[in-house]
């Protein structure tokens, strides 16, 4: 993060999740949303008016049609700074809130900028893309600590009721040793159709819908997930 400043973020993808994170950052943290990238003007402007430029007009560095435009802008801004020119402060972090199969291309392009990244789940749709992302985020010198934080939006891991549930079951052992668990996922028609358009594949649809809960169940059941691992 830049010295003496609260964290500044760009939202890439001003859809449902982009708006949810913009609201959370604005209402619940000392950070701010300073830019947005989305090819749909209405979505870009709607998020921008609400969280960035209010009723006025946006400046050139507050609004981008695509994430590629933002990356070019940031590279240019840094180049100018290196040349001793006066430039506005850049972003500290990026929320990647575009659709699943775009995450790998966006994150690997952002990686050289060393900004903090929060990517919506699922990280990617193929193992190859997950590995590409992993490699792109490795520091140049492996032993050196990373300069930035990379995270995935598995928000249920951090929800207060699940944190409490894990503590009660794993740490306090309130019901003794767990022998088996049964988890029922109440997927409504609207969630199914929402997930279906993302994947066009029923197997993946159920897999994604279920994934955070399945991880929770597996972790609690076999004891491989601790509260510390999930909340470092």
Ligand X SMILES: NC(=O)c1ccc[n+]([C@@H]2O[C@H](COP(=O)([O-])OP(=O)(O)OC[C@H]3O[C@@H](n4cnc5c(N)ncnc54)[C@H](O)[C@@H]3O)[C@@H](O)[C@H]2O)c1
Q: Nearest distance from residue 83's CB to ligand X, in Å? A: 28
**Segment near ligand X (CB under 6 A); pick from 6-14, 108-116, 175-183, 216-224:** 6-14
Site for ligand X in 86-125 (CB under 6 A): 97-100, 120-121
Q: Which of 123, 110, 114, 124 is nearest to 64 (CA)?
A: 110
**ω into residue 212 within 30 of 0, thus cis?**
no
Number of residues that bind ligand X (CB under 6 A): 21
- Minimum distance from CB of 122 to ligand X (Å)? 6
Contacts of residue 136, Cβ cutoff 8 Å, sequence gap at least 6: 107, 108, 111
> Is the sign of the CA dihedral 217, 99, 146, 26 positive or negative?
negative
Pairing of strands 93-96, 63-64: unpaired
Beta carbon nearer to ligand X, 66 or 108: 66
Separation between Cα atoms, residue 228 and residue 232, nearest integer Å = 5
Binding mask 9-48 for ligand X (x = CB under 6 A): ---xxxxxxx------------------xxxx--x-----
User: Three-state DSSP class for 160?
Assistant: helix
Closer to ligand X by CB, 15 or 58: give it.
15
Residues lying near ligand X in the complex (CB under 6 A) are found at 12-18, 37-40, 43, 66-67, 97-100, 120-121, 198
């Amino acid at each position: 993060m830049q010295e003496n400043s609260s964290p500044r973020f760009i939202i890439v993808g001003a859809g449902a999740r982009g708006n949810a994170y913009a609201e959370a950052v604005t209402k619940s943290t000392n950070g701010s949303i300073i830019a947005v990238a989305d090819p749909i003007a209405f979505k870009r402007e709607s998020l921008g008016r609400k969280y960035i430029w209010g009723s006025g007009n946006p400046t050139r560095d507050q609004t981008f049609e695509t994430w590629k435009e933002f990356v070019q802008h940031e590279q240019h801004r840094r180049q100018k700074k290196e040349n001793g020119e006066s430039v506005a402060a850049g972003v500290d972090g990026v929320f990647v809130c575009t659709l699943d199969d775009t995450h790998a291309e966006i994150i690997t392009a952002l990686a050289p900028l060393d900004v903090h990244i929060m990517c919506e789940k699922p990280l990617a749709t193929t193992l190859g893309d997950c590995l590409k992302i992993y490699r792109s985020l490795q520091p140049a010198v492996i032993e050196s600590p990373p300069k930035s934080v990379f995270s995935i939006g598995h928000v249920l891991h951090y929800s207060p009721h699940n944190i409490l549930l894990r503590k009660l079951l794993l740490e306090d052992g309130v019901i003794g040793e767990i022998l088996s668990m049964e988890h029922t996922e109440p997927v409504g028609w609207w969630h199914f159709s929402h997930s279906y358009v993302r994947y066009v594949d029923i197997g993946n649809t159920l897999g994604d819908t279920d994934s955070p809960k399945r991880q929770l169940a597996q972790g609690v059941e076999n004891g491989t997930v601790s509260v510390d691992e999930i909340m470092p």
